[in-house]
Amino acid sequence: MKMIFKIAKTELRNLFYSPVAWFLTIAFMVQCGVYYVSPLYGLANWQDVISRNNPNFTDFGISMTDALFLGQDGIFANVLQNLYLFVPLLTMGLISREVNSGTIKLLFSSPIRTREIVLGKYLAIMIYNLLLVGIVGVFMVVGILNIHAADYGVLLSAALGFYLLVCTYTAIGLFMSSLTNYQIVSAIGSFIIIFVLSHISGLWQKYDIVRDLTYFLSISGRTVKMLKGLITTKDVVYFVMIVYMFVTFTLIKMKAGRESRPWWAQASRYVMVFASVLVIGYVSSRPAFIGYWDTTRSKSNTLHPNTQTILKDLGKEPVEITLYTNLLGAGVHRGLPENRNDYLWNLWEPYLRFKPDIKFNYVYYYDTDDADSTLYKTWVGKSLPEIAGQTAEGLQVNVKDFTAPAEVRKMINLRPEGYRLVMQLKYKGNTTFLRTFDDANFWPEEQQVAAALKRLLGNVPKNIFLTGNLERSIYKKGEREYSNHAVARDNRQSLINIGFDSDSLCVETQEIPAGISTLVLADPKTALSAAAMEKISRYINNGGNMLIFGEPGKQQMLNPVLKQLGVQLMDGTLIEVSKDEMPHMVKPGLTAAGTHLSEDPALIALREMQTDGKSMGLLMPGVTGITFGDSSAFKAMPLLATVPGNVWLKAGPVVTDSTAPVFNPQDGDTRQPSYATAVALTRTINGKEQRIAVSADADFMSNLRMGGGFLGRNLYAWMVNDAFPIYTPKPKPIDTKLTITATTANIEKYLFVWILPGLVLLTGTILLVRRKRQ
């Protein structure tokens, strides 16, 4: 060990007696300074401007730690991106310099062992790497001082990722320096090796045998998790093994210069080292052997506790996930074998962390809906197998790897899923689908995954939508219907994708089943028969939960049902005259009771807004008022109420496309301070709380209005006591404000970009000049 340290000391002395190390150090300092102070000054300047003009300004609402260090213009994002430019210049002469100067012969003839030479030189470069980390560390310390409550856990994790990456690059440079006498060739070779390791993850991904091996060898994206504050043993082992491989390669190459062995013996050494790296890397990347450390303050890289609880409830029984990829369906590219590792590690790794025994299956097939397919119009005159063959040729895959329609239909019915990329989850005989979506994210998010996993445990809430009186349909896609929020498989926020089942039932001819979570009566346009009224009344008397949506002009259809609840829809239409909307477009505000429907993060944010005297308005296109009193058995609370003084009730028909109506008491128009447009009713019956919500507008839940948005979803969540959806919000950052002004940021700009690099330049110049004179 003493000899290793002596060689390292000598190498460091030689390193700093050359201008290369000084030049790279200064260039690195300037780069870090520029990428730190540029976003810092911009944010500090804006903070000063806003603070002077807005006394209510508190913070930016985003993490300043991420913005200054991890953002697109931050230090780590840019330093890591440009790091490969520095390292080859630093390492190109580590061994080739000894060969060119002839000192390598002295080393070989001395009693120094080859491994001591290699390890000493690599130790020297590792110490220099610590200097680079120290430079970054200066900015980390300053950043902690400049940011209120900076998340230092993220910074430490990012620094570790930086150090491991630069050590890996230098190990590659060390090996390339041992292969040639020419330093420029060594530098170019290092560039090439780094390039290959950065792109090898895309090679041979179609083949099962080599897919995991090439994916493991890839250096691309290895620091992404660490930059976000998540340290995994898989990534740490990768860097350690790559360093081990190239340092050992260097040792083998150096020994070859002192030994006389046949070429195959030398090659076998390289093969054995490479094979050991692959084996260890493969084993260490298996889910059961991966350890995780989330260093962020808020544990933002870890699944929400609600999701963790579901995974824990699944126990040791494995979950089986089958990905169905249709050659002719939407999303086919994401499901092909070459993208399998992205599918596993980008989508499922957070869940494998807590349940590593998840089993993954893959089914490749081709099929389409013969009754309504545009494929036959695109591929005129061709049969489905011929279309599949041509598509496979275009995608450069073998059509024989895809199961024919007749065979896959024996396995599973994917027609309701539109034959698109979909996953089926199985657990203890229960199955459910987990879908993909045609939006920016494509894959399901944690809320959809958590809901699917919880469905496997049973007790799925079921909503029954009544039909038989021309109610809104959950199967039609018209703008006034309800399919988008109820059963639309392509909407990630629809009830079917956040944990609910939905079905329809003709109340005129069928009985309302027991055990459902919610009965929905949405805008009947004909009067309910006595039999239907009796069934609904019996359901309510038994303590069933219910959602009731009405419309102005059809109050008489619902008021007989509402009578037993102590609620009535008022005759007439509410009018709110504004410069932008038609007069019947009323915008009531969410009340305190409305913001407490569930623990939805959006509602929690609105509660905080209401403490400041603000309330969020919800547009209702045609609505009347609701009357309620204390005489019934239900406790009534308004969920939506109009702004006091802005709205009045017009009797008779409303002309919406002409001049604004005028309040006229002679015509029966009435005015009161405020009108409730949605009401929540509760009572305790049969040992549980019965919940009923009544809305005087049905259009706000329509397809055109996106199913009522978050309020519509929360009405259903309220019915099931927040059992679904599974809320998985990310914690809000608290490092959202700077502690300095623009003036201080400007001083730091000159300090880090000019003064400190200048001092280092002066020191290096003096040292080199004195060295040359000696």
Question: What sign results for the dihedral spanned by CA atoms 14, 16, 19, 24?
Answer: positive
The two three-digit tokens of residue 584, written as one number: 């019947």
Containing 501, the helix (H) or strand (E) segment is strand 501-506
Residues 6+ apart with CB under 8 A from 249: 175, 270, 273
Extract the tokens encoding 385. 């197998």
Q: 322 pairs with which residues across the strands?
A: 361, 424
pLDDT digits (tens, 9 = 90+) for 50-84: 988 988 888 888 999 999 998 888 888 888 877 77
The dihedrals phi and psi of 504, each to the nearest 5 degrees, come to -115, 160
Query: Maximum Cα–Cα distance for the chain, whole Å?
Result: 116
How is 243-275 classified by DSSP, letter by letter? HHHHHHHHHHHHHHTT----HHHHHHHHHHHHH
Q: What pLDDT sits at residue 161? A: 92
Tell me the two tokens of residue 552: 């102005």
Amino acid identity at 256: A
The long-range contacts involving 749-755, CB below 8 angstroms and separated by at least 24 positions, are 749/33, 749/37, 749/40, 749/41, 752/29, 752/32, 752/33, 752/36, 752/37, 752/139, 753/30, 753/33, 753/34, 753/37
Q: What is the CA radius of gyration of the chain?
A: 34
Q: What is the pLDDT of residue 631?
A: 66
Report whether 245 contacts 273 (CB < 8 A).
Answer: yes
Give the chain's residues under pLDDT 50: none
Q: What is the predicted pLDDT for the residue at 372?
A: 64
**What one-character-per-residue DSSP string does 57-117 give?**
----SS-HHIIIIISTTSHHHHHHHHHHHHHHHHHTTTTHHHHHHTHHHHHHHSS--HHHH
- Residue appearing with tokens 């807004």: 609
Are 126 and 167 in contact, with CB atoms under 8 Å apart?
yes
pLDDT of amino acid 215: 76
The 3-state secondary structure of 657-687 reads: CCCCCCCCHHHCCECCCCCEEEEEEEEEECC
With CA atoms as reference, report the closest residue to 39 among 67, 60, 78: 67
Degrees, nearest 5: CA angle 675-679-685: 150
- Residue 199 confidence (pLDDT): 75
61: left (phi over 0), alpha (psi -120 to 50) or beta: left
The token pair that represents 378 in the structure block: 């695109």
Q: In the prediction, which pLDDT does 377 show?
A: 81
Q: What is the pLDDT of residue 697?
A: 96
Instruction: Report whether 720 contacts 518 (CB < 8 A).
Output: yes
Burial call 201-240: b when 16+ CB within 10 Å, e when fewer:
bebebbeeeebbbbbbbbbeebbebbbbbbbbebbbbbbb
SS3 letters for 573-607? EEECCCCCCCCCEECCEECHHHHCCCCCHHHHHHH
Q: What is the DSSP letter of 345?
A: I
